[in-house]
Amino acid sequence: MRPISWAAVQTTDRPATDAVDSALMLISTLEPTIHAWAYLDHERARREAAEAAGRGGSLLGLVAGVKDIFDTADQPSEYGSPIYAGHRPLADASAVALLREEGAVCIGKTVTSEFAFAHPGPTTNPHRTTHTPGGSSMGSAAAVAAGMVDFAIGTQTAGSIIRPASFCGVYGFKPTFGSVSIAGAKIFAPSLDTVGWFARGPFLLDQVRVALTGQPEAAMMGAAPTIGLLRTEQWNECADDSMRAVVATADIAQALGANVLNLDMPGPMAGLADKQPTLMAYEAARSLAWEHRAKRDELSTELREMLDRGRRADAAEINGVRAQKSAALTSCAELFARCSVILTPAVIGEAPHGLGQTGDPRFARLWSLLGLPAVSIPAATGSTGMPVGVQLVAAAGDDAHLLAVAAWVTGGKPVPVSGAHSPQGVLA
Protein backbone atom coordinates (compact mmCIF):
# COMPACT_ATOMS: atom_id res chain seq x y z
CA MET A 1 0.00 0.00 0.00
CA ARG A 2 1.28 3.45 -0.85
CA PRO A 3 2.05 5.27 2.42
CA ILE A 4 0.00 8.43 2.95
CA SER A 5 0.78 10.77 5.82
CA TRP A 6 -2.46 12.43 6.84
CA ALA A 7 -0.28 14.87 8.76
CA ALA A 8 0.68 16.30 5.37
CA VAL A 9 -2.40 18.51 5.52
CA GLN A 10 -2.25 21.54 3.29
CA THR A 11 -1.27 24.21 5.76
CA THR A 12 0.34 27.53 5.16
CA ASP A 13 2.41 29.92 7.17
CA ARG A 14 1.70 32.77 4.75
CA PRO A 15 0.38 35.87 6.44
CA ALA A 16 -3.27 36.28 5.54
CA THR A 17 -2.56 39.67 4.00
CA ASP A 18 0.12 38.23 1.70
CA ALA A 19 -2.18 35.37 0.70
CA VAL A 20 -4.93 37.79 -0.26
CA ASP A 21 -2.56 40.07 -2.18
CA SER A 22 -1.27 37.08 -4.18
CA ALA A 23 -4.81 35.91 -4.88
CA LEU A 24 -5.94 39.34 -6.00
CA MET A 25 -2.96 39.65 -8.33
CA LEU A 26 -3.76 36.34 -10.03
CA ILE A 27 -7.45 37.16 -10.18
CA SER A 28 -6.67 40.46 -11.90
CA THR A 29 -4.75 38.55 -14.56
CA LEU A 30 -7.18 35.68 -15.15
CA GLU A 31 -10.63 37.06 -14.38
CA PRO A 32 -11.12 38.80 -17.75
CA THR A 33 -10.95 35.33 -19.30
CA ILE A 34 -12.55 33.09 -16.66
CA HIS A 35 -15.30 35.32 -15.22
CA ALA A 36 -15.47 33.38 -11.94
CA TRP A 37 -16.52 36.29 -9.71
CA ALA A 38 -19.92 37.82 -9.10
CA TYR A 39 -18.49 40.31 -6.59
CA LEU A 40 -14.98 41.27 -5.60
CA ASP A 41 -13.81 44.34 -3.66
CA HIS A 42 -10.04 44.39 -3.31
CA GLU A 43 -9.93 46.80 -0.39
CA ARG A 44 -12.64 44.98 1.52
CA ALA A 45 -10.74 41.70 1.03
CA ARG A 46 -7.54 43.27 2.35
CA ARG A 47 -9.38 44.55 5.44
CA GLU A 48 -10.77 41.09 6.08
CA ALA A 49 -7.27 39.62 5.78
CA ALA A 50 -5.92 42.07 8.37
CA GLU A 51 -8.76 41.20 10.74
CA ALA A 52 -8.21 37.45 10.24
CA ALA A 53 -4.53 37.80 11.08
CA GLY A 54 -5.53 39.15 14.47
CA ARG A 55 -7.92 36.27 15.21
CA GLY A 56 -5.94 33.21 14.08
CA GLY A 57 -7.61 29.86 13.43
CA SER A 58 -7.06 26.53 11.71
CA LEU A 59 -7.61 28.05 8.23
CA LEU A 60 -5.53 31.18 8.74
CA GLY A 61 -3.56 32.05 5.61
CA LEU A 62 -6.07 30.36 3.31
CA VAL A 63 -8.21 32.25 0.82
CA ALA A 64 -11.75 31.10 0.01
CA GLY A 65 -14.39 31.84 -2.59
CA VAL A 66 -18.08 31.83 -1.64
CA LYS A 67 -20.78 30.81 -4.11
CA ASP A 68 -23.22 33.66 -4.50
CA ILE A 69 -26.03 31.55 -3.11
CA PHE A 70 -24.76 32.16 0.44
CA ASP A 71 -25.58 35.29 2.41
CA THR A 72 -22.71 37.58 3.35
CA ALA A 73 -23.16 40.59 5.59
CA ASP A 74 -20.36 42.59 3.97
CA GLN A 75 -20.93 41.67 0.31
CA PRO A 76 -23.98 41.51 -1.95
CA SER A 77 -25.83 38.20 -2.26
CA GLU A 78 -27.67 38.12 -5.58
CA TYR A 79 -28.26 34.36 -6.00
CA GLY A 80 -27.48 34.55 -9.70
CA SER A 81 -30.74 36.42 -10.37
CA PRO A 82 -31.56 40.00 -11.40
CA ILE A 83 -34.40 39.86 -8.87
CA TYR A 84 -31.84 40.25 -6.08
CA ALA A 85 -29.47 42.72 -7.74
CA GLY A 86 -27.65 44.64 -5.00
CA HIS A 87 -29.29 42.62 -2.21
CA ARG A 88 -27.44 43.08 1.10
CA PRO A 89 -28.18 40.48 3.81
CA LEU A 90 -27.81 41.41 7.48
CA ALA A 91 -25.79 38.33 8.44
CA ASP A 92 -23.38 35.74 7.10
CA ALA A 93 -24.58 32.28 6.23
CA SER A 94 -23.53 29.71 8.81
CA ALA A 95 -20.83 28.19 6.59
CA VAL A 96 -19.32 31.60 5.83
CA ALA A 97 -19.31 32.58 9.51
CA LEU A 98 -17.62 29.33 10.53
CA LEU A 99 -14.91 29.63 7.87
CA ARG A 100 -14.16 33.19 8.94
CA GLU A 101 -14.08 32.11 12.57
CA GLU A 102 -11.27 29.71 11.63
CA GLY A 103 -9.27 32.45 9.89
CA ALA A 104 -10.13 31.85 6.23
CA VAL A 105 -10.57 35.02 4.18
CA CYS A 106 -13.77 34.91 2.11
CA ILE A 107 -12.29 37.04 -0.63
CA GLY A 108 -15.40 37.41 -2.79
CA LYS A 109 -18.58 35.90 -4.20
CA THR A 110 -18.29 33.37 -7.02
CA VAL A 111 -20.69 33.07 -9.94
CA THR A 112 -23.64 30.72 -9.54
CA SER A 113 -26.26 29.57 -11.98
CA GLU A 114 -29.62 31.25 -11.37
CA PHE A 115 -30.77 30.16 -7.89
CA ALA A 116 -28.26 27.29 -8.22
CA PHE A 117 -30.35 25.66 -10.97
CA ALA A 118 -29.63 25.41 -14.69
CA HIS A 119 -29.40 28.86 -16.29
CA PRO A 120 -25.62 29.49 -16.41
CA GLY A 121 -23.54 32.52 -15.64
CA PRO A 122 -20.58 33.72 -17.73
CA THR A 123 -17.88 31.54 -16.15
CA THR A 124 -15.58 29.58 -18.46
CA ASN A 125 -13.59 26.41 -17.90
CA PRO A 126 -9.96 27.31 -17.09
CA HIS A 127 -8.73 24.29 -19.04
CA ARG A 128 -10.52 25.37 -22.20
CA THR A 129 -12.42 28.61 -22.10
CA THR A 130 -14.78 27.61 -24.90
CA HIS A 131 -16.22 24.90 -22.62
CA THR A 132 -18.49 24.98 -19.60
CA PRO A 133 -16.98 24.62 -16.11
CA GLY A 134 -20.18 22.85 -15.04
CA GLY A 135 -22.77 24.16 -12.66
CA SER A 136 -24.31 25.39 -10.63
CA SER A 137 -21.20 26.01 -8.50
CA MET A 138 -19.37 27.13 -11.62
CA GLY A 139 -17.46 30.12 -10.27
CA SER A 140 -16.24 28.24 -7.20
CA ALA A 141 -14.89 25.28 -9.20
CA ALA A 142 -13.24 27.51 -11.82
CA ALA A 143 -11.65 29.79 -9.21
CA VAL A 144 -10.07 26.80 -7.46
CA ALA A 145 -8.95 25.20 -10.71
CA ALA A 146 -7.26 28.42 -11.81
CA GLY A 147 -5.46 28.84 -8.47
CA MET A 148 -7.32 32.05 -7.64
CA VAL A 149 -8.27 30.69 -4.19
CA ASP A 150 -7.21 27.79 -2.01
CA PHE A 151 -10.75 26.46 -1.71
CA ALA A 152 -14.30 27.55 -2.41
CA ILE A 153 -17.70 26.57 -1.11
CA GLY A 154 -20.74 25.73 -3.19
CA THR A 155 -23.96 23.74 -2.94
CA GLN A 156 -25.29 20.56 -4.49
CA THR A 157 -28.94 19.73 -5.10
CA ALA A 158 -28.39 17.38 -8.05
CA GLY A 159 -24.76 17.46 -9.23
CA SER A 160 -23.49 20.98 -8.58
CA ILE A 161 -20.30 19.96 -6.74
CA ILE A 162 -19.42 16.64 -8.35
CA ARG A 163 -19.94 17.74 -11.97
CA PRO A 164 -17.95 21.02 -11.97
CA ALA A 165 -15.17 19.39 -9.94
CA SER A 166 -14.83 16.74 -12.64
CA PHE A 167 -15.06 19.21 -15.52
CA CYS A 168 -12.48 21.55 -13.94
CA GLY A 169 -10.10 18.83 -12.77
CA VAL A 170 -10.22 19.52 -9.03
CA TYR A 171 -11.43 17.68 -5.94
CA GLY A 172 -15.05 18.31 -4.98
CA PHE A 173 -16.73 17.07 -1.80
CA LYS A 174 -20.43 16.80 -0.97
CA PRO A 175 -20.78 15.73 2.67
CA THR A 176 -23.57 13.73 4.25
CA PHE A 177 -26.85 15.61 3.93
CA GLY A 178 -27.44 17.78 6.99
CA SER A 179 -23.91 17.47 8.39
CA VAL A 180 -23.13 21.09 7.45
CA SER A 181 -25.67 23.80 8.20
CA ILE A 182 -27.37 25.25 5.14
CA ALA A 183 -28.64 28.22 7.19
CA GLY A 184 -28.22 31.48 5.33
CA ALA A 185 -28.10 29.94 1.86
CA LYS A 186 -30.92 30.52 -0.61
CA ILE A 187 -32.93 27.31 -0.35
CA PHE A 188 -33.94 25.50 -3.53
CA ALA A 189 -34.97 21.97 -2.51
CA PRO A 190 -34.72 21.54 1.27
CA SER A 191 -34.47 17.73 1.33
CA LEU A 192 -31.60 17.85 -1.21
CA ASP A 193 -29.59 21.08 -0.79
CA THR A 194 -26.16 20.35 0.66
CA VAL A 195 -23.16 22.61 1.31
CA GLY A 196 -20.05 21.33 -0.48
CA TRP A 197 -16.60 22.60 -1.42
CA PHE A 198 -13.69 22.38 -3.84
CA ALA A 199 -9.93 22.22 -3.36
CA ARG A 200 -6.88 21.16 -5.34
CA GLY A 201 -6.01 18.41 -2.84
CA PRO A 202 -7.93 16.02 -0.56
CA PHE A 203 -6.31 17.13 2.69
CA LEU A 204 -7.72 20.63 2.44
CA LEU A 205 -11.15 19.15 1.79
CA ASP A 206 -10.86 17.52 5.20
CA GLN A 207 -9.62 20.70 6.90
CA VAL A 208 -12.70 22.52 5.68
CA ARG A 209 -14.92 19.63 6.81
CA VAL A 210 -13.49 19.87 10.32
CA ALA A 211 -14.02 23.63 10.38
CA LEU A 212 -17.64 23.36 9.22
CA THR A 213 -18.73 20.35 11.30
CA GLY A 214 -16.53 20.36 14.39
CA GLN A 215 -15.89 16.66 13.80
CA PRO A 216 -12.42 15.11 14.20
CA GLU A 217 -10.04 15.09 11.26
CA ALA A 218 -9.84 11.98 9.11
CA ALA A 219 -7.45 9.27 10.22
CA MET A 220 -4.70 7.98 7.96
CA MET A 221 -5.60 4.73 6.20
CA GLY A 222 -4.22 1.85 8.25
CA ALA A 223 -5.05 -0.82 5.70
CA ALA A 224 -6.13 -1.02 2.11
CA PRO A 225 -9.90 -0.49 1.74
CA THR A 226 -12.53 -2.62 0.07
CA ILE A 227 -13.99 -0.68 -2.85
CA GLY A 228 -17.20 -1.62 -4.60
CA LEU A 229 -17.34 -0.83 -8.32
CA LEU A 230 -20.95 0.09 -9.08
CA ARG A 231 -21.52 0.93 -12.71
CA THR A 232 -25.21 1.79 -12.06
CA GLU A 233 -28.00 1.35 -14.56
CA GLN A 234 -26.74 4.42 -16.46
CA TRP A 235 -23.31 2.97 -17.22
CA ASN A 236 -23.98 2.67 -20.93
CA GLU A 237 -24.73 6.41 -21.04
CA CYS A 238 -21.10 7.16 -20.14
CA ALA A 239 -18.71 8.32 -22.81
CA ASP A 240 -15.65 6.13 -23.29
CA ASP A 241 -13.54 8.71 -21.42
CA SER A 242 -15.58 8.33 -18.25
CA MET A 243 -15.76 4.54 -18.50
CA ARG A 244 -11.99 4.35 -18.88
CA ALA A 245 -11.45 6.70 -15.92
CA VAL A 246 -13.57 4.52 -13.62
CA VAL A 247 -11.94 1.27 -14.72
CA ALA A 248 -8.43 2.77 -14.50
CA THR A 249 -9.13 4.01 -10.97
CA ALA A 250 -10.30 0.54 -9.97
CA ASP A 251 -7.12 -0.94 -11.45
CA ILE A 252 -4.94 1.55 -9.59
CA ALA A 253 -6.70 0.85 -6.30
CA GLN A 254 -6.33 -2.89 -6.81
CA ALA A 255 -2.64 -2.52 -7.64
CA LEU A 256 -2.19 -0.61 -4.39
CA GLY A 257 -3.72 -3.47 -2.43
CA ALA A 258 -7.42 -2.63 -2.35
CA ASN A 259 -10.00 -5.38 -2.63
CA VAL A 260 -12.20 -4.25 -5.56
CA LEU A 261 -15.61 -5.88 -5.87
CA ASN A 262 -18.08 -5.64 -8.72
CA LEU A 263 -21.47 -4.66 -7.29
CA ASP A 264 -24.91 -5.11 -8.78
CA MET A 265 -27.49 -2.34 -8.63
CA PRO A 266 -29.98 -3.17 -5.84
CA GLY A 267 -33.58 -3.38 -6.99
CA PRO A 268 -34.93 -0.55 -4.78
CA MET A 269 -32.43 1.84 -6.34
CA ALA A 270 -33.54 1.13 -9.90
CA GLY A 271 -34.92 4.21 -11.64
CA LEU A 272 -34.47 6.42 -8.58
CA ALA A 273 -31.89 8.72 -10.18
CA ASP A 274 -34.40 9.62 -12.89
CA LYS A 275 -36.97 10.56 -10.23
CA GLN A 276 -34.71 13.06 -8.44
CA PRO A 277 -35.72 15.93 -10.80
CA THR A 278 -39.39 15.36 -9.92
CA LEU A 279 -38.80 15.76 -6.20
CA MET A 280 -36.44 18.68 -6.80
CA ALA A 281 -39.01 20.53 -8.92
CA TYR A 282 -41.77 19.88 -6.37
CA GLU A 283 -39.70 21.34 -3.54
CA ALA A 284 -38.30 24.23 -5.59
CA ALA A 285 -41.79 25.33 -6.60
CA ARG A 286 -42.52 25.80 -2.91
CA SER A 287 -39.17 27.28 -1.88
CA LEU A 288 -39.35 29.85 -4.69
CA ALA A 289 -43.11 30.44 -4.48
CA TRP A 290 -42.73 34.22 -4.10
CA GLU A 291 -40.30 34.57 -6.99
CA HIS A 292 -42.50 32.34 -9.13
CA ARG A 293 -45.62 34.40 -8.41
CA ALA A 294 -44.35 37.98 -8.04
CA LYS A 295 -41.26 37.98 -10.28
CA ARG A 296 -42.08 35.35 -12.87
CA ASP A 297 -41.03 37.53 -15.82
CA GLU A 298 -37.55 37.95 -14.33
CA LEU A 299 -36.92 34.20 -14.16
CA SER A 300 -35.20 32.31 -16.95
CA THR A 301 -37.30 30.12 -19.21
CA GLU A 302 -35.62 26.99 -17.80
CA LEU A 303 -36.50 27.89 -14.23
CA ARG A 304 -40.07 28.97 -15.00
CA GLU A 305 -40.77 25.71 -16.77
CA MET A 306 -39.28 23.66 -13.96
CA LEU A 307 -41.29 25.52 -11.31
CA ASP A 308 -44.45 25.07 -13.35
CA ARG A 309 -43.78 21.32 -13.42
CA GLY A 310 -43.19 21.35 -9.70
CA ARG A 311 -46.53 23.04 -9.03
CA ARG A 312 -48.30 20.42 -11.15
CA ALA A 313 -46.53 17.46 -9.53
CA ASP A 314 -48.84 14.74 -8.27
CA ALA A 315 -48.67 14.23 -4.49
CA ALA A 316 -48.90 10.46 -4.88
CA GLU A 317 -45.90 10.50 -7.20
CA ILE A 318 -43.87 12.57 -4.73
CA ASN A 319 -44.80 10.27 -1.87
CA GLY A 320 -43.78 7.33 -4.03
CA VAL A 321 -40.33 8.84 -4.64
CA ARG A 322 -39.89 9.36 -0.91
CA ALA A 323 -40.94 5.80 -0.15
CA GLN A 324 -38.55 4.40 -2.75
CA LYS A 325 -35.78 6.57 -1.26
CA SER A 326 -36.33 4.93 2.13
CA ALA A 327 -36.18 1.46 0.59
CA ALA A 328 -33.05 2.38 -1.37
CA LEU A 329 -31.29 3.56 1.79
CA THR A 330 -31.92 0.14 3.32
CA SER A 331 -30.39 -1.53 0.27
CA CYS A 332 -27.42 0.86 0.51
CA ALA A 333 -26.73 -0.49 3.96
CA GLU A 334 -26.43 -3.93 2.39
CA LEU A 335 -23.94 -2.57 -0.17
CA PHE A 336 -21.78 -0.95 2.49
CA ALA A 337 -21.74 -4.16 4.46
CA ARG A 338 -19.61 -5.50 1.58
CA CYS A 339 -17.40 -2.46 0.96
CA SER A 340 -16.50 0.81 2.66
CA VAL A 341 -16.78 3.02 -0.42
CA ILE A 342 -18.39 2.79 -3.84
CA LEU A 343 -16.57 3.77 -7.03
CA THR A 344 -18.89 5.04 -9.75
CA PRO A 345 -18.89 7.57 -12.61
CA ALA A 346 -18.99 11.27 -11.77
CA VAL A 347 -19.99 12.58 -15.20
CA ILE A 348 -20.82 11.42 -18.72
CA GLY A 349 -17.39 12.57 -19.94
CA GLU A 350 -15.42 15.72 -20.63
CA ALA A 351 -16.97 19.16 -20.19
CA PRO A 352 -19.25 19.93 -23.14
CA HIS A 353 -18.42 22.67 -25.61
CA GLY A 354 -20.21 25.98 -25.14
CA LEU A 355 -21.31 28.13 -22.22
CA GLY A 356 -25.07 27.98 -22.77
CA GLN A 357 -25.51 24.90 -20.56
CA THR A 358 -23.67 23.35 -17.63
CA GLY A 359 -23.60 19.64 -18.47
CA ASP A 360 -25.63 16.65 -17.34
CA PRO A 361 -25.75 15.78 -13.60
CA ARG A 362 -27.24 12.31 -14.01
CA PHE A 363 -24.43 10.42 -12.24
CA ALA A 364 -24.74 12.54 -9.09
CA ARG A 365 -28.54 12.61 -8.83
CA LEU A 366 -28.92 9.27 -7.04
CA TRP A 367 -26.40 10.05 -4.30
CA SER A 368 -27.82 13.55 -3.79
CA LEU A 369 -31.30 12.12 -3.38
CA LEU A 370 -30.03 9.56 -0.87
CA GLY A 371 -28.02 12.18 1.03
CA LEU A 372 -24.81 10.14 0.96
CA PRO A 373 -21.33 11.71 1.08
CA ALA A 374 -19.58 11.82 -2.29
CA VAL A 375 -16.25 13.09 -3.58
CA SER A 376 -15.09 13.72 -7.14
CA ILE A 377 -11.41 13.03 -7.65
CA PRO A 378 -9.34 13.98 -10.72
CA ALA A 379 -8.76 10.67 -12.45
CA ALA A 380 -7.94 11.04 -16.13
CA THR A 381 -7.46 13.23 -19.14
CA GLY A 382 -10.13 12.71 -21.77
CA SER A 383 -9.68 12.11 -25.46
CA THR A 384 -9.53 15.84 -26.26
CA GLY A 385 -7.30 16.76 -23.31
CA MET A 386 -9.94 17.87 -20.79
CA PRO A 387 -10.17 16.53 -17.22
CA VAL A 388 -12.45 13.64 -16.28
CA GLY A 389 -13.15 12.79 -12.64
CA VAL A 390 -14.59 9.74 -10.92
CA GLN A 391 -16.88 9.61 -7.92
CA LEU A 392 -16.43 7.84 -4.60
CA VAL A 393 -19.47 7.43 -2.33
CA ALA A 394 -19.69 6.28 1.28
CA ALA A 395 -22.39 5.47 3.81
CA ALA A 396 -24.08 8.34 5.60
CA GLY A 397 -21.78 9.71 8.29
CA ASP A 398 -18.61 8.09 6.90
CA ASP A 399 -17.36 11.40 5.49
CA ALA A 400 -13.93 11.26 7.13
CA HIS A 401 -13.28 7.72 5.89
CA LEU A 402 -14.40 8.70 2.39
CA LEU A 403 -11.85 11.52 2.25
CA ALA A 404 -9.15 9.23 3.63
CA VAL A 405 -9.83 6.74 0.83
CA ALA A 406 -9.81 9.55 -1.74
CA ALA A 407 -6.38 10.60 -0.49
CA TRP A 408 -5.16 7.01 -0.46
CA VAL A 409 -6.29 6.28 -4.02
CA THR A 410 -4.76 9.46 -5.43
CA GLY A 411 -1.64 9.51 -3.30
CA GLY A 412 -2.88 12.75 -1.79
CA LYS A 413 -1.55 14.55 -4.82
CA PRO A 414 -2.53 18.18 -5.29
CA VAL A 415 -3.72 19.31 -8.69
CA PRO A 416 -0.97 21.37 -10.35
CA VAL A 417 -1.90 24.94 -11.22
CA SER A 418 -0.26 27.26 -13.70
CA GLY A 419 -1.17 30.78 -14.67
CA ALA A 420 0.41 30.45 -18.09
CA HIS A 421 -2.03 31.16 -20.90
CA SER A 422 -2.56 28.65 -23.69
CA PRO A 423 -4.54 29.08 -26.90
CA GLN A 424 -7.54 27.22 -25.45
CA GLY A 425 -7.44 28.03 -21.74
CA VAL A 426 -5.43 29.51 -18.92
CA LEU A 427 -3.96 26.32 -17.44
CA ALA A 428 -0.82 24.83 -18.87
CA 147, CA 126: separation in Å to the nearest integer?
A: 10
170 and 378 Cβ atoms separated by less than 8 Å: yes
The conformation of residue 197, written as its DSSP 8-state character, comes to E
Helices (H) and strands (E) in the chain, counts: 13, 11
Rg (C-alpha) for the chain, rounded Å, is 20
Question: What phi and psi, each to the nearest 5 degrees, are found at residue 274?
Answer: -75, -15
Nearest partner of 36 among 204, 157, 170, 159, judged by Cα: 170
Residue type, 63: V
CA 117, CA 277: separation in Å to the nearest integer?
A: 11
Residue type, 269: M
Nearest partner of 138 among 202, 185, 68, 39, judged by Cα: 68
Nearest partner of 106 among 210, 218, 197, 214, judged by Cα: 197
Nearest partner of 250 among 377, 360, 371, judged by Cα: 377
Collect all residues with Cβ–Cβ distance below 8 Å to 301 and sequence separation of at least 6. Answer: none
How many beta carbons lie within 10 A of that of residue 411, not counting itself?
A: 12
Directed axis angle between helix 315-336 and helix 272-287, to 10°?
A: 130
Tally the residues of the chain.
428
* Catalytic residue positions, numbered: 67, 136, 160
User: Alpha helices, DSSP H only, in 268-300?
Assistant: 272-287, 289-294
Nearest partner of 249 among 265, 232, 231, judged by Cα: 231
Look at residue 379 and give its three-state secondary structure: strand
